[in-house]
A and B are shown apart, each in its own frame.
Chain A
């Protein structure tokens, strides 16, 4: 995608060009916001404000190659503001865990896989906040460049790779521990 020309078209009011940007970067923005463990409503607010700010800055983006970084930085700031506000006025947001009935027996591969995903998602929520934040951003589709991750999390780019490795190995320990526990019980409480 030629970001410069897409930005220029969007700035001229071309909805199709704008939609290209929305489709390309929504997952990144959502992943950043959820990585900060914002509830669904707050995450939506942070993402939407980021898009609104891009609209007003469409012809001011200095370096189109850094658009993803600009978006990631903008959404991070909005998230931090919402977190600050929530810490004063609201209880902790939800963790994003879906409501899934534990009792229904899986009847096909898809359900089995979904159950396995849900289990992994629960285990993921036990990681440290910094690990959740990083890994959640890395799950964005398409996978973000480290430059974008660095902007989103205000992390030195050189520390992303080693931190990812450490967080994944920690997650694997937790998964293994959960599996060992589950094997002994037969049924989740």
Chain B
């Protein structure tokens, strides 16, 4: 492959090195097949009949996380125009526990993670799910669904 940065030309030895590096990356660290397969399957998560609640606050971005005795806690807020959903996420080792508070939407809460669905009753806006695996997660209540977040 020829060099594509005429303003900062490489000498031939460096150009050859770049080509070798490309080969090495392709040979030794290609995109794993299961990553490609998961990416292709991601389209099936699309829902046209649901409203997306965007992530508007994440304590993991704001600070180093709140530590309880032996767990780590993360607070997430999602919103649509009419609905707000707060998640209180607790990590204990590799297990995740979620407590949520939803206002403006009715129905059970369904937590989707790693191909699993966990349904929780919503009582006066509150719900809780424990023993979740870590991974890309979203929560659905009624016709709203949160943005995906890595828990």
Contact = CB atoms under 8 A, between A and B. Distances in A.
Contact of A30 (B31, B43, B46, B91): B31
B39 A48 contact: yes
Contact of A78 (B20, B30, B45, B150): B150
Interface in A133-189: 135-136, 138-139, 141, 143, 146, 160-162, 164-165, 168-169, 171-172, 175
B147 A56 contact: yes
B26 A51 contact: no
A64 interface: no
Nearest to A47: B35
Nearest to A142: B1
Nearest to A119: B24
A160 B5 CA distance: 10
A48 B38 contact: yes
A31 B17 CA distance: 18
Nearest to A10: B43
A49 B42 CA distance: 9
Interface in B9-65: 10, 13-14, 17-18, 20-32, 34-36, 38-40, 42-43, 45-46, 52, 60-61, 64-65
B41 to A, nearest CB: 9
Given A44-B35, A120-B21, A172-B17, A55 B8 contact: no
List of 3 A-B pairs having minimum Cβ-Cβ separation, nearest first: A161-B8, A139-B25, A117-B24
